[in-house]
């Protein structure tokens, strides 16, 4: 599929209609590509319209079914428009991947109220609008799966920085678990993926890549994740292969939260 060496090309997601947020690049683009490669119809959404259109076009060129829609996740109206377009052109959405995010570096003593609020707005309130936009149809059809892209940062571990991000991601995991518990009897599943550092444009923009590469040498799997190594988990969680899996948090971090990490070690 596409030009990224992906091995997708099966039918694991036949019958799935997915909306993926933040799909113009990084992990979201990788998820969209693998989903389409496995037979899902995919509505890619983002605020980076040129990049998003290009990813969707590449998917179509490779034989997949995909469209791109501008969607700022903080806008309930844009969510409504995206869900309506999805239903009109691809079919009722039965998979929602809340992946879009923005980064925020400061610790609690330093973060401004504006930065805190903006981060919570995109990273937690955005998915809130998304859950609510698709839940009515999913409940009516008794068919829906939420794949939440959370983070090990804020859930399994903390850093002495990035407080807004950690708060948003911990909240997002909690809401996902809540949905799993509240709507399981209605045929709806919800799970979170908790990645460690992934080699994406988002990580590069944080000016953190060099440090992340160094830190990752201390992980049991002594390197950063590539986007596809996390995206395959999103395929599993969207597929019927995971039909008994709900309210789960899947940590994909090269083993780093399971041990003491000593950067620079060899072997």
Ligand X SMILES: NC(=O)c1ccc[n+]([C@@H]2O[C@H](COP(=O)([O-])OP(=O)(O)OC[C@H]3O[C@@H](n4cnc5c(N)ncnc54)[C@H](O)[C@@H]3O)[C@@H](O)[C@H]2O)c1
Positions annotated as catalytic residues are: 165
Told to check if 46 binds ligand X by CB under 6 A, we report yes
**Closer to ligand X at the Cβ: 23 or 138?**
23
Residue 22 contacts ligand X per CB under 6 A: yes
Residue 263 beta carbon to ligand X: minimum distance, rounded to whole angstroms: 16
Distance CA 93, CA 99 (A): 16
* Tokens 């809130």, residue located: 128
Q: CB pairs under 8 A, 24+ apart, for 163-167?
A: 163/104, 163/106, 163/107, 163/108, 163/111, 163/116, 164/104, 164/106, 164/111, 164/115, 164/116, 164/119, 164/120, 164/123, 165/101, 165/103, 165/104, 165/119, 165/123, 167/120, 167/124
Q: Longest C-alpha distance within the chain, in Å?
A: 54
Neighbours of 181 (CB within 10 A): 12
Residue 122 interacts with ligand X (CB under 6 A)? Answer: yes
Residue 28 engages ligand X in binding (rule: CB under 6 A): yes
Read off the DSSP letter of residue 228.
H
In terms of phi and psi (left: phi > 0; alpha: psi -120 to 50; beta: otherwise), the region of 191 is beta
Segment near ligand X (CB under 6 A); pick from 6-14, 24-32, 106-114, 215-223? 24-32
Tell me whether residue 46 or residue 143 sits nearer to ligand X (CB atom): 46
Question: What is the rounded CA–CA span in Å between residue 169 and residue 221?
Answer: 24
Q: What track of x and - describes contact with ligand X for positions 146 through 165 (by CB under 6 A)? A: ---x-x--------------
# residues contacting ligand X (CB under 6 A):
29
Q: Does 43 bind ligand X (CB under 6 A)?
A: no
User: Structure tokens of 146?
Assistant: 């939420």
If the CB atoms of residues 8 and 20 are measured against ligand X, the closer one turns out to be 20
Residue 101 found at the interface with ligand X (CB under 6 A): yes
Residue 34 CB, shortest distance to ligand X, in Å, is 14
Considering only residues 223 to 262 of the shown chain, the ones binding ligand X according to CB under 6 A are: none
Minimum separation from the CB atom of position 75 to ligand X (A): 8
Residue 182 or 204: which CB sits closer to ligand X? Answer: 204
Q: How far apart are CA 75 and CA 150, in angstroms?
A: 20
Q: Answer yes or no: are the C-beta atoms of 12 and 34 closer than 8 Å.
A: no
Q: Which of 49, 53, 62, 72 binds ligand X (CB under 6 A)?
A: 72
Q: Which residue from 24, 96, 190, 235 is in contact with ligand X, where contact means CB under 6 A?
A: 24
Q: Give the footprint of ligand X on this chain (CB under 6 A).
A: 21-22, 24-28, 46-48, 71-74, 99-102, 122, 126, 149, 151, 195, 197-198, 200-203
């Amino acid at each position: 599929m596409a030009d990224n060496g992906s091995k997708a090309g099966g039918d694991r997601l036949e019958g799935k209609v997915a909306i993926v947020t933040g799909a113009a690049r990084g992990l979201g683009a990788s998820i969209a590509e693998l989903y389409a490669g496995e037979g899902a119809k995919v509505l890619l959404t983002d605020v980076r319209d040129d990049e998003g259109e290009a990813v969707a076009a590449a998917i179509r060129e490779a034989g997949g079914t995909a469209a791109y829609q501008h969607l700022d996740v903080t806008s309930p109206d844009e969510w409504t428009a995206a869900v309506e377009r999805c239903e009109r052109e691809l079919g009722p959405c039965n998979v929602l991947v809340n992946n879009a995010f923005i980064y925020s570096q400061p610790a609690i003593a330093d973060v401004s109220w504006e930065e805190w609020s903006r981060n919570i707005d995109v990273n937690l309130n955005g998915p809130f609008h998304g859950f609510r936009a698709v839940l009515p149809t999913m409940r009516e059809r008794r068919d829906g799966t939420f794949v939440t892209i959370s983070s090990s940062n804020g859930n399994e571990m903390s850093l002495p920085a990035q407080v807004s991000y950690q708060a948003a991601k911990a909240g997002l995991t909690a809401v996902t678990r809540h949905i799993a518990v509240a709507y399981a009897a209605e045929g709806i599943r919800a799970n979170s993926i908790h990645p460690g550092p992934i080699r994406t444009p988002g990580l590069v923009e944080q000016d953190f890549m060099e440090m992340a590469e160094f830190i990752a040498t201390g992980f049991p799997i002594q390197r950063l994740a590539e986007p596809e190594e996390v995206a395959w988990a999103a395929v599993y969680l969207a597929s019927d292969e995971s039909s008994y899996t709900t309210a789960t948090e899947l940590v994909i971090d090269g083993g780093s939260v399971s041990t003491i990490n000593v950067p620079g070690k060899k072997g």
